[in-house]
Homo-oligomer: A and B are copies of this chain.
């Protein structure tokens, strides 16, 4: 039994891409039951929608937030189902598993798409995007992953957004791993939709995804979706009509998200969170280097979200043993997801600070020693 940043006993430090370590205040917000069609809950839903939309700023009322039950992928699919026109074509920029997942969604739901690919350790490149848009007039929409959780890489979102806007196409942003920690300003980064979830940098518990969409684009998307549950336009219209969820929402998860947003505000919003995660990331990378591990990405490409480490040479390192040993001592890390080489990942997000990163490094150091590294 270890302790999280605010001193609440918790079973483990979750140094993963999420679900993450949350605070006592966030978890305790789940101790109340809510009637999902009661006035109080309608107010809670409206407040959360307003607060999430406000994080991207922009002209008042231009963007609307539609939360949806399920994981982040449910929000991605809902956005693509609803916002990519049935006769549209989506260009998907891929440099990791989450770009590939959007392609898989388009394949399954039967929307036309094309993939533009880069290696997992290289950022997407606006010039290639511009050329692809120039070459194919059928492309109506472009999708990009802001931070690829596969590697931890930060893609040049502003460049891509400029290119897409200049070409008169619409942009959709998978901001799953960045939202709340890395600023996206709707005033300067034009986008049609952006998707994220409750349990990443907002430090809520899992169970809710959400899409922040251009209000006009959403209204015009009526009838696009080929799923009842994942029809974002119908849900958005429902919220505008009576403030209600069409289908039972995870009430306790939403109460936790509201509490997590209080803490997000108290920390100073995106700049505050970015500062803490950047410090966590710096401490993690420096400490791991001292222990002989090498971050995989070039420093300038690394987002302060999750770090991919190479499996060390010498044959002494077995990831399964390493994972189990850390897990027994209350540190949960993550396997790698690269196709090109063996790796593992350690997250630096969630309700953790420098002290927790140093504690994790201490346990990792002892484990390496015991393994003969």
Q: Which residues of B contact A38 (CB under 8 A)?
A: 12, 327, 332
Contact with B along A1-40 (1 / 0, CB 8 A): 0001000001110101011111000011011111111111
What range describes how many residues of A lie at the interface? Answer: 35 or more
Cβ-based interface call for A227 (8 A): yes
Q: Which residues of B contact A252 (CB under 8 A)?
A: 27, 30, 205-207, 252-253, 256
Most-contacted residue by chain B among A21, A249, A335 (CB, 10 A):
A249
Q: Known interface pairs A69-B70, A77-B228. Does A19 touch B36 (Cβ–Cβ under 8 Å)?
A: yes
DSSP majority for the A interface? loop
- This chain's copy number in the assembly: 2
Q: Known interface pairs A39-B327, A69-B69. Does A205 touch B247 (Cβ–Cβ under 8 Å)?
A: no
Question: Is A226 a contact partner of B229 (Cβ separation < 8 A)?
Answer: no
Q: How far is the CA of A270 from the CA of B342 in the complex (A)?
A: 49
Most-contacted residue by chain B among A4, A230, A248, A251 (CB, 10 A):
A248
Cβ-based interface call for A371 (8 A): no
Q: How far is the CA of A247 from the CA of B206 in the complex (A)?
A: 11
Q: Which residues of B contact A206 (CB under 8 A)?
A: 36, 248-252
Question: Is B70 a contact partner of A229 (Cβ separation < 8 A)?
Answer: yes
Q: Which residue of B lies closest to A200 (CB)?
A: B248
Question: Is A228 a contact partner of B33 (Cβ separation < 8 A)?
Answer: no
